[in-house]
DNA sequence: AGGGTATCTGTGAACGTTCACAGCGTCTTG
DNA sequence: CAAGACGCTGTGAACGTTCACAGATACCCT
């Protein structure tokens, strides 16, 4: 649009009175440039307003110049978390320092996945950042087949060995919550899990059973699917089966909010009759009544580590060690 | 990594026994290609697994090959809405058909904005998709200066004439809610607005006063900042000033949830004593007690229109007409 | 038959970089 | 003083496309 022609490296060279080879060298921080030349070139760059053309650079360097972040949300759950915002922002910054841009793709259905696959297969990305990918996802194998650097933000259960990841210590976080409920004198502690094909689903339950041991009988465990409605239903089933339940740990704040709803309708007081714990410390945690005691994840750190691993892979590392970071218990009024 | 060399258009030409010019023609859907040549080339493409190199194509075409979506979230509000997910997905699909990829940037603070500006100024994007930009944002003028196609998803108040947009009819939606509350016999209807530098803040209040007329006295209007806490505080002030208030319309579900909290603490029953209306139909709308009557926006349609406008601009249109789409009232139990 | 279209094809020259190479001073060192 | 090392510079050749142009064939119309 009405763009005046952009200055090229030739223009800079001409203005500075130096060859384009040397200009390229200062652009890329080569050692062998005389102070005089460097100064002249920097002046010329400022004067012309030169910015490198990424297409030309990436063409000759044989790179794509971008990393694609794939959001796999099997359900209609989607964004919802402030998680994404933090993660995306952190990723953008980390990648930006290496002149990589972050392109977004969503892999919610087969059509989406097809598109993602074509994209990465086509060599249009230098790496892949997987978000909330579940274990059965065909994308994982496809990506593996494409031999492209890929890292997951959050472990991909059953695939830890095939896709490196940075994640928070979900199991440890669940353990914190369970220990807290026990320490408050709760005796009959139930759990509402997430889907058992997600890391959050599996590992948060593991942490729970770590603490409760054989007290964590199947009678006290119900499975949800992260949604509010599933939290409601799971709580209803628990109340029916174990009327004297005095605490419930939901694997997400949203499900905890559903549980609160059911408890209220059943006339139970929270936390007096039943203590409720959530997970995520998402925005709903403070909009429920009472506000949720929950587990906070170190999202920014996880994101940063994810990017670090991916960059290492892009730089040619054969493999990288997964990273796990600790969570924090946030005590509010629901427990 | 370990990538075998990717086939180029030359390889396809060689395998098909046809010149690269003709290959390029079938790739770009040119009319003048004989059926025989087309067939041979398609075979060769399939055989070699050829995929066009975007850098080379974009280099010669003098395009960036991507559109950047800028998320401007002045506060810590950030993602939160499923809004984003829908919008992003729709945008990816729409842009994908034109071989444009969607790169994400966040402009929450000056450092971010600086980065965004460098990026678009540098010609690294063919267009800009503005999300939730507020009127004072320096980015708007900067973008304007860069003479780059830019469209906002949701109007930028005070800048409607400078940045084209697709948005839902916020004012009409607020009108729907106000009319509904009136029709249910509510007499003292209050409003909790959003920040008055956002379209949602201004236009939802306008719709409210459209219906209430002089009954919408300043006594009945409180300003919030979209957060839960601001909803709580605004409601508290309203209760103090107008104890006999019998309905409140909050400009967002999150603030409505805050209002519910305050009302409950004040011993008011919802909807019996006070009806509560929200806006957005976001995930919190069904996790509150009682579930919120709210206004749903046609997000997918808005996103699609936004992309359409941007593409028109990229294609060289001098200007485009803004688009406004109707909202829908969702009646639940809070009103 | 001859001239004009319409359809199809191949070729050369860009697009804006980086990178390897070669060249040339100057300094150090044996 | 020759030989090498070091610091710095310019040049040519890629990278993989598209696009304009020119040439070739076939067809239609007068």
pLDDT in tens, B286-328: 878 899 999 999 988 999 999 999 999 998 888 899 999 999 9
Residues B75, B115, single domain; the answer is yes
Residue A334 placed within a domain? no
Q: What is the pLDDT of residues A3-21, one digit of tens each?
A: 568 899 999 999 999 999 9
Residue A1 pLDDT: 44
Pairwise CA distance, residues A140 & A312, whole Å: 19
Facing B123 at nearest CB: one of A6, A71, A108:
A6
Label residue A44 left, alpha or beta by phi (over 0 means left) and psi (-120 to 50 means alpha).
alpha
Residue B74 pLDDT: 53
Residue A58 placed within a domain? no
B124 contacts chain A (CB < 8 A): yes
Nearest-nucleotide field for A9 (CA, C1'): C16
State whether A86 and B78 contact (CB < 8 Å): yes
Residues B159, B304, single domain; the answer is yes
Residue A81 pLDDT: 55
B59 contacts chain A (CB < 8 A): yes
Nearest-nucleotide field for A38 (CA, C1'): D8
Residues B82, B20, single domain; the answer is no
Residue B3 placed within a domain? no
Instruction: Please provide the DSSP assignment of B160-226 as one string.
Output: TTTS-EEEE-HHHHHHHHHHHHHHTT--SEEEEE--TTSHHHHHHHHHHHHHHGGGS-GGGEEE--S
Residues B77, B147, single domain; the answer is yes
Residues B207, B221, single domain; the answer is yes
Residue B75 pLDDT: 46
A112 contacts chain B (CB < 8 A): yes
State whether B1 and A316 contact (CB < 8 Å): yes
State whether B88 and A104 contact (CB < 8 Å): yes
Q: What is the pLDDT of residues B149-171, one digit of tens each?
A: 999 998 887 777 788 999 999 99
Pairwise CA distance, residues A209 & B253, whole Å: 36
A310 contacts chain B (CB < 8 A): no
Residues B176, B290, single domain; the answer is yes
Are A173 and A204 in contact by the 8 Å Cβ rule? The answer is yes
Q: Which CATH number characterizes residue B48's domain?
A: 1.10.260.40
Mean pLDDT of all residues belonging to chain A: 90
Strand D contact set, beta carbon < 7 A = A 18-22, 25, 31-37, 56, 59-60, 62; B 5-6, 8-10, 20-21, 24, 27-28, 50-53, 56-57, 59-61
Distance from CA of A316 to the nearest CA of B (A): 7
B50 contacts chain A (CB < 8 A): no
| Cis check: omega of the bond before B290, within 30 degrees of 0 | yes
The HSE-up count of residue A331 (CA atoms within 13 Å, CB side) is 8
Which of the four pLDDT bands, split at 50, 70 and 90, describes residue B79?
A: very low
Structure tokens that stand for B303 in this block? 């996103």
Residue B333 placed within a domain? no
Residue B281 has pLDDT above 60, yes or no: yes
Residue B2 has pLDDT above 60, yes or no: no
Query: What share of chain A has pLDDT > 90, as a percent?
Result: 64
- Helix residue ranges, H only, B72-137: 82-96, 110-121
Nearest-nucleotide field for A51 (CA, C1'): C16
Facing B79 at nearest CB: one of A82, A102, A254:
A82
Pairwise CA distance, residues B120 & A7, whole Å: 15
Pairwise CA distance, residues A85 & B88, whole Å: 13
Nearest-nucleotide field for B41 (CA, C1'): C9
Residue A83 pLDDT: 64
Residue B288 pLDDT: 84
Which of the four pLDDT bands, split at 50, 70 and 90, describes residue A75?
A: very low
Residues A84, A151, single domain; the answer is yes
Residue A32 has pLDDT above 50, yes or no: yes
B286 contacts chain A (CB < 8 A): yes
State whether A73 and B81 contact (CB < 8 Å): no
Residue B335 placed within a domain? no
List chain B residues with CB under 8 Å of A260. Answer: 289
Are A224 and A201 in contact by the 8 Å Cβ rule? The answer is no
Q: B174 vs A24, A292, A323, B254, B322, CA distance in Å?
A: 57, 31, 48, 16, 20
A52 contacts chain B (CB < 8 A): yes
A283 contacts chain B (CB < 8 A): yes
End-to-end CA, chain B = 59
Chains A, B: CB pairs < 8 Å: 168
Distance from CA of B149 to the nearest CA of A (A): 7
Residue A76 pLDDT: 47
Pairwise CA distance, residues A278 & B80, whole Å: 17
**pTM (two decimals):** 0.85
Q: What is the mean pLDDT of residues B19-38?
A: 92
Residue A283 pLDDT: 77
Residue B58 placed within a domain? no
Residue B78 has pLDDT above 50, yes or no: no
Q: How crowded is residue A242: how many other Cβ atoms within 10 Å of its Cβ? A: 15
Q: What is the mean pLDDT of residues B131-146?
A: 79
Q: What is the pLDDT of residues B191-203, one digit of tens each?
A: 999 989 888 899 9
Q: What is the pLDDT of residues B204-257, one digit of tens each?
A: 999 999 999 988 889 999 999 888 889 999 999 999 999 999 999 999 998 999
- Angle made by CA atoms A38, A41, A47, in degrees to the nearest 5: 145
Residue A335 has pLDDT above 60, yes or no: yes
Residue A236 placed within a domain? yes
Residue B179 placed within a domain? yes
Contacting B residues, span 171-200, partner chain A, CB-CB under 8 Å? none
Which residue of B lies nearest to A50 if distances are taken between CA atoms?
Answer: B122
Residues A153, A72, single domain; the answer is yes
List chain A residues with CB under 8 Å of B64. Answer: 54-55
Closest residue by Cα to the C1' atom of nucleotide D18? B60
Residue B82 has pLDDT above 60, yes or no: no
Q: How far is the CA of A19 from the C1' of D11 (A)?
A: 9
Residue B83 pLDDT: 64
Q: How crowded is residue B118: how many other Cβ atoms within 10 Å of its Cβ? A: 12
Best mutation target among A76, A78, A95 (most B Cβ atoms within 10 Å) is: A78
Pairwise CA distance, residues B332 & B73, whole Å: 29
Residue B76 has pLDDT above 70, yes or no: no
Which residue of B lies nearest to A283 if distances are taken between CA atoms?
Answer: B80
User: Which bases in strand D are touched by protein, i.e. have an atom under 7 Å from a CB?
Assistant: 7-12, 14-21
Residue A28 pLDDT: 92
A313 contacts chain B (CB < 8 A): yes
Residues B202, B128, single domain; the answer is no
Best mutation target among B1, B5, B280, B285 (most A Cβ atoms within 10 Å) is: B1
Residue A4 pLDDT: 65
State whether A66 and B103 contact (CB < 8 Å): yes
Residue B125 pLDDT: 95
Residue A78 pLDDT: 47
Whole-angstrom Cα Rg for chain A: 25
A27 contacts chain B (CB < 8 A): no
Residue B221 pLDDT: 97
Facing B103 at nearest CB: one of A71, A102, A123:
A102
Residue A272 pLDDT: 96
Pairwise CA distance, residues A92 & B112, whole Å: 10
Residues B287, B202, single domain; the answer is yes
Residues B79, B97, single domain; the answer is yes
Could you list the residue range(s) of the whole structural domain that residue B25 is in? 9-52
Q: What is the pLDDT of residues A234-280, one digit of tens each?
A: 999 999 999 999 999 999 998 999 999 899 989 999 999 999 999 98
Q: Which CATH number characterizes residue B130's domain?
A: 3.40.50.2300
Residues B154, B246, single domain; the answer is no
Which of the four pLDDT bands, split at 50, 70 and 90, describes residue A94?
A: very high
Residue B106 pLDDT: 87
Q: A221 vs A194, A210, A271, CA distance in Å?
A: 11, 14, 19
Distance from CA of B89 to the nearest CA of A (A): 6
How many domains does chain B fold into?
3
């Amino acid at each position: 649009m009405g763009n005046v022609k952009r200055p090229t490296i030739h223009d800079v060279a001409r203005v500075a009175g130096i060859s384009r080879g040397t200009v390229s060298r200062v652009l890329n921080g080569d050692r062998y440039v005389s102070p005089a030349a460097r100064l002249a070139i920097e002046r010329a760059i400022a004067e012309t307003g030169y910015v490198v053309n990424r297409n030309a650079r990436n063409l000759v360097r044989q790179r794509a110049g971008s990393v694609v972040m794939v959001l796999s949300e099997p359900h209609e759950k989607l964004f919802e978390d402030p998680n994404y915002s933090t993660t995306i922002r952190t990723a953008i910054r980390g990648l930006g320092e290496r002149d990589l841009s972050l392109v977004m793709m969503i892999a919610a259905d087969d059509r989406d996945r097809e598109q993602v696959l074509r994209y990465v297969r086509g060599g249009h990305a230098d790496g892949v950042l997987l978000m909330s990918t579940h274990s059965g996802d065909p994308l994982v194998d496809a990506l593996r087949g494409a031999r492209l650097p890929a890292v997951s933000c959050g472990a991909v259960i059953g695939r830890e060995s095939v896709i490196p990841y940075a994640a928070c210590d979900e199991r440890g976080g669940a353990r914190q919550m369970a220990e807290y409920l026990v320490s408050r004198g709760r005796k009959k502690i139930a759990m509402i899990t997430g889907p058992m094909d997600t890391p959050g689903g599996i590992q948060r339950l593991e942490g729970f059973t770590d603490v409760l041991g054989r007290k964590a009988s199947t009678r006290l465990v119900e499975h949800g699917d992260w949604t509010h409605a599933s939290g409601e239903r799971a709580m209803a089933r628990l109340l029916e089966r174990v009327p004297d339940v005095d605490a419930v740990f939901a694997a997400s704040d949203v499900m905890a909010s559903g549980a609160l709803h059911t408890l209220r309708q059943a006339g139970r007081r929270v936390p007096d009759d039943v203590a409720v714990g959530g997970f995520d410390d998402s925005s709903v945690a403070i909009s429920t009544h009472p506000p949720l005691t929950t587990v906070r994840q170190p999202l920014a750190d996880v994101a940063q580590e994810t990017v670090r691993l991916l960059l290492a892979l892009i730089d040619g590392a054969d493999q990288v060690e997964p990273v796990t970071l600790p969570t924090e218990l946030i005590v509010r009024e629901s427990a």
